[in-house]
Amino acid sequence: MEKRILGLDPGLAILGFGAINCIQNPNKLPETTVNMLDFGVIKTSADVEMGQRLCTLFDDLHTVMEEFQPDLVAIEKLFFYRMSSTILVAQARGIVILVLGQRRLPYVEFTPAQIKQALTGYGNADKSEVQEAVARELDLDEIPKPDDAADALAVALTASYQL
C-alpha cells in the first residue's frame, strides 16, 4: 500500500511544505518505507498588502497540491507566541484549510509537542534534535533548509508513523 503525505508548517511570511511517500509492505507488517519526494517554502513579502499575500498562499498551495497529489495532508497546529504573530499564522492557516476543503483532502493536525515526541521520543526536544531526526529518518546527508521546510517534513513524518 502506498500513501503520499504532504506536511505543512503554516505561516504568512513563510509556509513550509514537505512531501513524502510511504510504502507499506503487506508481507512485513508493520514495516513501512518512507522516501522524501521534495520540500520547499512559499514566501510572501511584508511589503505586499495582506489580501495579496493570502492570494499568493492560496494560488501557490493549489500548485503544490497539484504537483504532489497527496493522499493525506498533515498540518502543525497553531502554537501561541505573541498575539500579533498568532493572528497572522491563523490567517495563513485558514487559507490552508480552505484549499484542503476545496480539494476534499483529508488532513490531520499535530501540536509541536506531538511532533517532537514522535520524532525524538521527547516532547520538549529542541529544534536541532527534531531536524536531525528528520535527516536521519529520511536518510538525508544534511538537514533540509530552510527550517520551515524541515518542520513540514517533520509533520509529514509524524503522520506516517500513524499509518
**How far, in Å, CA of 119 to CA of 5, rounded?**
16
67: β partners: none
Kindly list the distances between the CA atom of residue 47 and the CA atoms of 43, 50, 52, in Å, as whole numbers in the listed order: 12, 9, 10
**pLDDT tens track for 85-125:** 788 888 999 999 999 999 999 999 999 999 999 999 999 99
Q: Select which of 9, 60, 137, 151 is catalytic.
A: 9
Catalytic, 148? Answer yes
**How far, in Å, CA of 103 to CA of 58, rounded?**
12
Catalytic, 76? Answer yes
Would you place residue 1 in the very low, low, confident or very high pLDDT band (cuts 50, 70, 90)?
A: confident
Q: Select which of 60, 76, 137, 151 is catalytic.
A: 76
Catalytic, 59? Answer no
Residue 11 has pLDDT above 60, yes or no: yes
**pLDDT tens track for 129-159:** 999 999 999 999 999 999 999 999 999 999 9
Q: Select which of 60, 137, 148, 151 is catalytic.
A: 148
DSSP label at 27? G
